[in-house]
Amino acid sequence: MKYQLITLDDVDLNCSSLFIEGAVLAANMATKPLAPEAWLGDIIGADNALKMVKTISQQIEHQYLLLKRNEYEVTEVVNFDDLDQLADFAEGFMTLWPMIEELWSDLQVADGTTRMLSALLTTMMLAVDEEETHRQMAEAGIDTPPTLTQMLPQLDMMILEVAMAADEYQIGYKGQKVNPYKNVGRNDTCPCESGKKFKKCCGK
């Protein structure tokens, strides 16, 4: 897989390339169009977002193409033997996830997809803080919680399954109406929340 993490040499960030990669993965699990401009500033600050939006958009697209071809392998990106690396990646994912979760909450999700999504989120939470996640599970009545070691071998499959389901919802969303933008004027702000005019964004 010829795929590289974003380099952060030109920006002063408090997060790593792996953190950004995790957020990019979460963005690729959106079930409706979601422009980077809608979330990037909240994660890295408005000034940095302006500098990086093009780079982030390209990374989202590159990662998406690999996901579509079942070629995205998280083990190629993250060293699973380095728990700090893994935690960084998972934190990036979980930081953006609440926004993505809102999009999923509007849907009738198949049981199999729900289980896979639950497994993915559990794995990410375990990667961020296994001890705290186990404590929360115990409070919820789960006597034998899964361990990160048990879940990690399935992470690639979880990612691909959830990303594929999200893509199907995106396609369905785009095809729901003959013209989903019929009430949007060419000079109006684009509904995808990019902040650009419709004619210079989705209305091209």
- Residue 189 bridge partners (DSSP): 197
User: Residue 145: phi, psi to the nearest 5?
Assistant: -70, 150
Distance (Å, whole) CA 26 – CA 95? 9
Per-residue tens of pLDDT for the chain, all 204 residues: 478 899 887 777 888 999 999 999 999 999 998 999 999 999 998 888 888 999 999 999 999 999 999 999 999 999 999 999 999 999 999 999 999 999 998 888 888 999 999 999 999 999 999 999 999 999 999 989 999 999 999 999 999 999 999 999 888 755 444 444 555 666 777 666 667 776 676 665
Distance (Å, whole) CA 67 – CA 61? 10
Instruction: Mark out the alpha helices in 129-196 (DSSP H runs).
Output: 130-139, 148-151, 155-175
Task: State the burial class of residue 159 (Cβ atoms within 10 Å of its Cβ: 0-12, 13-18, 19+).
Answer: buried
The CB-based long-range contact list for 70-75 (8 Å cut-off, 24+ gap) reads 70/160, 71/1, 72/1, 72/3, 72/156, 72/159, 72/160, 72/163, 73/1, 73/156, 74/155, 74/156, 74/159, 75/156
